[in-house]
Amino acid sequence: MKRRNRFLFVWLALGLVLLAFSAFQTAMAAEKSVDTGLVPDQTSTGDPPLIPHEVEASDNGEDCLACHKDGDDDAPKIPEWHATLTDCRQCHIPYVKNSDVFKTTY
């Protein structure tokens, strides 16, 4: 009987620890949420930011660097190491709000 009680106690303690950990994780997730108001959250950690405005394709990135090189007009300034990369749309994609762009007929 003692062995059975010990077994139940261990499982009960383990369950309580897991329940507490789950509640802690939920609380931490609620604290990290940030509302940018412009674009949705990135799909996963490490994704490049989405472009929250219309963009015309340029071969050398001069259109992007015109605002982002110095951070003019509330545009985020690009880091020094990033300034040598000229094909912005290779990683960054425009955010499209209108889902009509992807309409299908089937």
Question: Tens digits of per-residue pLDDT, 16-75?
Answer: 888 877 776 665 554 444 444 555 555 566 778 777 777 776 666 777 878 888 877 778
Give domain status of residue 103, yes or no: no
Residue 65: count other Cβ atoms within 10 Å of its Cβ: 15
Give domain status of residue 106, yes or no: no
Does pLDDT of 77 surpass 80? Answer: yes
Give domain status of residue 6, yes or no: yes
Total structural domains within the chain:
2
Long-range CB contact pairs, 15-24, < 8 A, 24+: none
This prediction has a pTM of: 0.45
Structural domain of 50: 36-97
12 and 41, same domain (yes or no): no
User: Taking Cα atoms as reference points, which of 101, 73, 70 lies closest to residue 83?
Assistant: 70
29 and 59, same domain (yes or no): no
The CA-to-CA distance between both ends of the chain, in Å, stands at: 66
Contact in structure between 53 and 97 (CB atoms under 8 Å): no
Give domain status of residue 16, yes or no: yes
